[in-house]
Chains A and B, each alone.
Chain A
Amino acid sequence: QLQLQESGPGLVKPSETLSLTCTVSGGSINGDSYYWGWIRQPPGKGLEWIGSMYYSGSTHYNPSLKSRVTISVDTSKNQFSLKLSSVTAADTAVYYCASPYPVPTGNWFDPWGQGTLVTVSS
């Protein structure tokens, strides 16, 4: 059964770069042309898609975050990572990584990791 686990600092200072890693177990990040994703949720608020990555490394980002986001993959470690630069308090959120749920038309995201809270504060 596929499982995902987010890891990284829980506290980041304003203007610095948030860095998280998603480790995948129970399956390989290599494979078909499906995309893995990062999604976030500010405390008490709704979900926001951050970006997606194919195992080959090609990416698509939320236009509202595109200038600050980088998603990358390390297939040797079965991991993919998120970097968000120039963070502010508005970037405080639970960050989730999610695996592809492939369907004939493309893919959705399921299952997700348990999420990790990142707080931006000095």
Chain B
Amino acid sequence: EIVLTQSPATLSLSPGERATLSCRASQSFGSFLAWYQQKPGQAPRLLIYDAFNRATGIPARFSGSGSGTDFTLTISSLEPEDFAVYYCLQRSNWPPLFTFGPGTKVDIK
């Protein structure tokens, strides 16, 4: 079973700053990784899939990178609406089983 670790647990930044979020896996699984954003009281929204592809309608300030065991979500310049919790999600090739990371909260400094 793959275990995902996200760091930091909380990231305190100001609007306009760059956010770098990490997701590390206990073993390599290729590039089957996605990033989700969740705001209070809302369902999660897909931002990035297959490590670096932006989902439909996601602004270009969101980017993903990495493969194997180390993945990164970067928000190039934080907008007020970006303060939220971010989860990484891993998918095994077959059978398609999913594991979420514990999340990183990006809050306003």
Chain A interface residues (CB < 8 Å from chain B): 35, 37, 39, 46-49, 52, 60, 62-63, 96, 101, 103, 105-106, 108-115
Contact assessment for B98 and A52 in the assembled complex, using a CB-CB cutoff below 8 Å:
yes
Nearest-neighbor residue (CB-CB) of A64 within chain B: B1
Report how far A39 CA is from B103 CA in the complex, Å. Answer: 15
Chain B residues lying within 8 Å of A101, measured Cβ to Cβ, are 46, 49, 55
Indicate which residue in A63, A111, A112 contacts B97 across the interface (CB closer than 8 Å).
Answer: A63
Contact assessment for B97 and A60 in the assembled complex, using a CB-CB cutoff below 8 Å:
yes
Q: What's the nearest-Cβ distance from chain A to residue B85, in Å?
A: 8
Indicate which residue in A46, A96, A108 contacts B46 across the interface (CB closer than 8 Å).
Answer: A108
Contact assessment for A106 and B32 in the assembled complex, using a CB-CB cutoff below 8 Å:
yes
Q: What's the nearest-Cβ distance from chain A to residue B13, in Å?
A: 21
Top 8 closest A-B pairs, CB basis? A110-B46, A112-B43, A49-B98, A47-B100, A108-B34, A108-B49, A60-B95, A46-B103
B87 sits at the interface (CB 8 A) = yes
Indicate which residue in A63, A106, A109, A110 contacts B1 across the interface (CB closer than 8 Å).
Answer: A63
Chain B residues lying within 8 Å of A48, measured Cβ to Cβ, are 100
Contact assessment for A105 and B50 in the assembled complex, using a CB-CB cutoff below 8 Å:
yes
Indicate which residue in B50, B96, B97, B100 contacts A103 across the interface (CB closer than 8 Å).
Answer: B50
